[in-house]
């Protein structure tokens, strides 16, 4: 599988991706084979359907949101480069990781933030929060309950009292959490 997959992957592409994302060539090749494996139509890009075919996504309440994070807005195709760029957020990071690297703490947090921030206005509104909560908690909880939780959340996090959670506020909330390894996946070599 790996050998066949690597056939499509040019060396210069690998180096380019490596530079951009920091993945090792072996990891890139492995992930590329995964990419082609997901790409059922063999057309070189992934669609949302491809993602939804991943069996485990059926039980993931946030599946849709996760898929959304892969796709740049209003685009239906995801090429390998974009695919890798998204995954690069989840490379393990150390305190030495440069700030601007994709897998830095900041960018990891930004990624989570963007999962909330559906309308890309750099703020989490109560509605956005509610949507995520609904996904997380399921439908058995009454709307009021969820609303209370959302309200509570907003109140405790919203420092500038604009009824929204900005990224800075978000960062403050998460400042004491060990995001670094919580949001890291071990990519096989």
DSSP 8-state secondary structure symbol assigned to residue 160: S
145 contacts other proteins (rule: CB under 8 A) = yes
Among positive and negative, which fits the CA dihedral 56, 185, 70, 122? positive
26 contacts other proteins (rule: CB under 8 A) = no
Question: In degrees to the nearest 10, what's the CA dihedral of 170, 62, 125, 144?
Answer: -120
Q: Which of 92, 119, 121, 189 lies at the binding interface for other proteins (CB under 8 A)?
A: 92
Q: Which of 112, 118, 122, 131 lies at the binding interface for other proteins (CB under 8 A)?
A: 112
Task: Identify which of residues 14 and 169 has a Cβ nearer to other proteins in the complex.
Answer: 169
- Cα dist from 134 to 104, 122, 142, 151, whole Å: 29, 21, 10, 14
Token pair belonging to 50: 């491809």
Q: Which of 15, 26, 79, 177 lies at the binding interface for other proteins (CB under 8 A)?
A: 177
71 contacts other proteins (rule: CB under 8 A) = no
Task: Identify which of residues 12 and 178 has a Cβ nearer to other proteins in the complex.
Answer: 178
182 contacts other proteins (rule: CB under 8 A) = yes
| Nearest of 49, 96, 55 to residue 76 by alpha carbon | 49
Task: Identify which of residues 14 and 91 has a Cβ nearer to other proteins in the complex.
Answer: 91
């Amino acid at each position: 599988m790996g050998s066949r997959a690597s056939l499509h992957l040019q060396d210069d592409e690998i180096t380019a991706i490596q530079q951009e994302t920091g993945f090792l060539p072996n990891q890139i090749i492995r992930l590329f084979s995964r990419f082609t494996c997901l790409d059922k139509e063999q057309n070189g890009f992934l669609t949302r359907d491809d993602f939804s075919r991943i069996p485990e996504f059926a039980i993931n309440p946030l599946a849709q949101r996760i898929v959304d994070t892969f796709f740049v807005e209003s685009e239906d195709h995801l090429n390998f480069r974009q695919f890798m760029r998204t995954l690069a957020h989840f490379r393990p990071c150390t305190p030495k990781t440069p700030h601007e690297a994709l897998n830095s703490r900041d960018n990891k947090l930004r990624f989570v933030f963007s999962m909330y921030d559906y309308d890309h206005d750099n703020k989490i509104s109560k509605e956005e929060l509610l949507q995520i909560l609904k996904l997380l908690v399921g439908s058995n909880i009454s709307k009021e309950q969820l609303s209370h939780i959302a309200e509570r959340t907003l109140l405790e996090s919203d420092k500038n009292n604009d009824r929204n959670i900005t990224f800075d506020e978000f960062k403050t909330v998460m400042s004491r959490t060990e995001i670094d390894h919580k949001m890291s996946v071990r990519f096989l070599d």
